[in-house]
Amino acid sequence: MVSGQETERVSRSQPFIQGLVWMAVAGGMMAGAGQAVLSPLWTAAIQVICMGVACGVLQQHPKRRSFALAWVFATAWLTSTFWWLFIALHTYGHLPSWLSAWAVFLLAGALALYYAIALAWHRRHVSNAPLMWRCVSFAACWTLAELARGEWFTGFPWGAIGYLHVDGWLSLAAPWVGVYGIGALAAGIASWLALTWLATKQETPSNHHDQKTSSIQRAKHRFTGALMVSAIICLPPLRFEQVGGEPIEVNLLQANVAQDLKFGSARAPTMAWYLDRLKESKAELTVLPETAIPWVPHDLPPGYWEAMQAPLQAQQRAAIVGIPTWEKDKGFANSALGLGFAEPLQYDKHHLVPFGEFTPPAAKWFTRMMKLDYGDFHRGSMDQPAFAWRNHQLGVTICYEDLFGEELAVRFLNPTSKPSVFVNLSNIAWFGNTPVVDQHLVIARMRSLEFERPTLRATNSGGTAIIDAQGRITHQLAPFTQGALEGVVRAGQDHTTIYAHWAGRWGLGPLWLLCLGLCAWVWRSQKTV
């Protein structure tokens, strides 16, 4: 027979287990919405609803449970966001499937600790504050976790919640506060919805007349809240057309080479294909993807490099080519070389991918398990000058670098070389036919919104596109196809956005200070009540 104590213990644990399930489902749905075939505006709405569910579950459970609940939500969300890392680890890194899956889960779980700590603090110390200030605290704590994930230990900000709002009204804040500021606004809206719903639900007047009146008031509050959120999130904003600078005719190449063949049997035919497209192109600027040429320049077949430059010099055109480089005192670098420019130009990737382009000393054992032929790359400086070409300043980034808007903002400090166009060279064939293509494209759109600069993306397998200064895709090549994307882009205006002004000088420090200050103020205000 089951004792009374055991029955009581089981009954007490059931709400907590239900809360964990709710958190896991909400976290998975929040990530899944961004990967489903839905309107971007609907995905943003689903995201806010899922965050609201998480906020509501936290509020309804004891404080001592808040850490576990928040960790489950964040782990489910992050695992579902970048599950495609499994493909790189297993398919190309040759790790066993179980170990690859565990590696992705452990990474997500480790990063989820930021959110668990921040939200547990919010629940424990600000739970009795007025509703508005609880919303402020929730948004600030969530943003602190996002900032920590994006900056600490080299940072891995992939999937920050602000990215799903590139098409809604919140995107208008991008030139002012950047993606993390947008995320803070989204978190504040989500918590306001959840806490308002709970507050109206808990109102239970004693007499029938008051109950009827209260029901009407609750209905009004919920309708008003739903209407406001729909207007903010689910309706596209009004945008005013901006007259940009000179138009540039561009040609973006996408070879669609399988990653396991790129440095082997496909190398020679792919290089021949790039050379033929370069000769055929009439565009002013041609862009090849990251490591499009898989040889360092001095190891190229005789005459190949000269053959690439000849049509450019004859027709006064230019090209940016992704290629590894090597220097005796620096070693290898993931680089982009400018051909056809007034002088030789080289950009070396600054923000390297952990375990892909460099390995922390304490984790060398892990990379030795993967059968990948690479070493640690040389890191370029953060403030490398733009590629000056005619009347344009081409700000080059390589793949993963465009996740870090605060680092790109540094380039706007020098008024003579601040970018007028971003040029991103990527190769995400490591992750197969997965949502990573669309996720990375959204990230590039956010960078265009933050700095009000167009972006050219040349990729190996997908996401090749032209993005205007308002974050809209004007031209795009179908993913996982071989082809050339021809189009026209107008360089961005000469002004510098507010976000570029403060992020270029102080990085994300102002957001850190603001969020910490808000948390401290709300906490102290609650203690004095």
Choosing from 55, 284, 349, 406, the catalytic residue is 349
Whether the CB-CB separation of 459 and 427 falls below 8 Å is answered with yes
Give pLDDT, residue 1: 44
Reduced to 3 states (helix: H, G, I; strand: E, B; else coil), residue 462 is coil
Choosing from 135, 399, 515, 519, the catalytic residue is 399
Annotated catalytic, 246?
A: no
Copy the structure tokens of residue 482. Answer: 């071989």
Across the range 290-311, mean pLDDT stands at 89
Across the range 282-311, mean pLDDT stands at 91
- 295 versus 529: the higher-pLDDT residue is 295
**Does residue 133 carry a pLDDT above 60?**
yes
Task: Using a pLDDT cut of 70, give the percent of the chain over it.
Answer: 84
pLDDT, one tens digit per residue, over 441-487 is 999 999 999 999 999 999 999 999 999 999 999 999 999 999 999 99
CA distance 496 to 475: 25
Give pLDDT, residue 10: 47
**Does residue 22 carry a pLDDT above 60?**
yes
Choosing from 290, 357, 450, 452, the catalytic residue is 290
**What domains can be seen in the chain, in order of their start residue?**
11-239+509-528 (no CATH), 247-492 (3.60.110.10)
Q: Lay out the sheet containing 421-426: strands in order across.
A: 387-389, 392-398, 421-426, 455-459, 465-467, 473-476
Give pLDDT, residue 236: 63
Task: Using a pLDDT cut of 90, give the percent of the chain over it.
Answer: 56
Residue 108 sits at the vertex; the CA angle it makes with 179 and 471, to the nearest 5 degrees, is: 25
Annotated catalytic, 401?
A: no
CA distance 193 to 461: 40
Q: Beta strand 345-348 with 331-339: parallel, antiparallel or unpaired?
A: antiparallel
Reduced to 3 states (helix: H, G, I; strand: E, B; else coil), residue 215 is helix
Across the range 298-320, mean pLDDT stands at 90
Annotated catalytic, 212?
A: no
Long-range contacts of 310-316 (CB under 8 A, 24+ apart): 311/278, 311/279, 312/278, 312/339, 312/340, 313/340, 315/282, 316/340
Q: Read off the amino acid at residue 199.
A: A
**Strand (E) or helix (H) holding 529:** none
**Does residue 42 carry a pLDDT above 60?**
yes
Using the CB atoms, write b or e for 370-392: b if 16+ within 10 Å: beeeeeebbbbeeebbbbbbeeb
Give pLDDT, residue 41: 72
Whether the CB-CB separation of 300 and 285 falls below 8 Å is answered with no
pTM for the predicted model, two decimal places: 0.90
**Does residue 6 carry a pLDDT above 60?**
no
Range of lowest pLDDT (161-170, 216-225, 296-305, 501-510)? 216-225
Q: How many CB atoms lie within 10 A of CB 307?
A: 14
* Backbone φ/ψ region at 319: left (φ over 0), alpha (ψ -120 to 50), beta: beta
Count how many Cα atoms sit within 13 Å of the Cα of residue 458 in the half-sphere of its side chain. 31
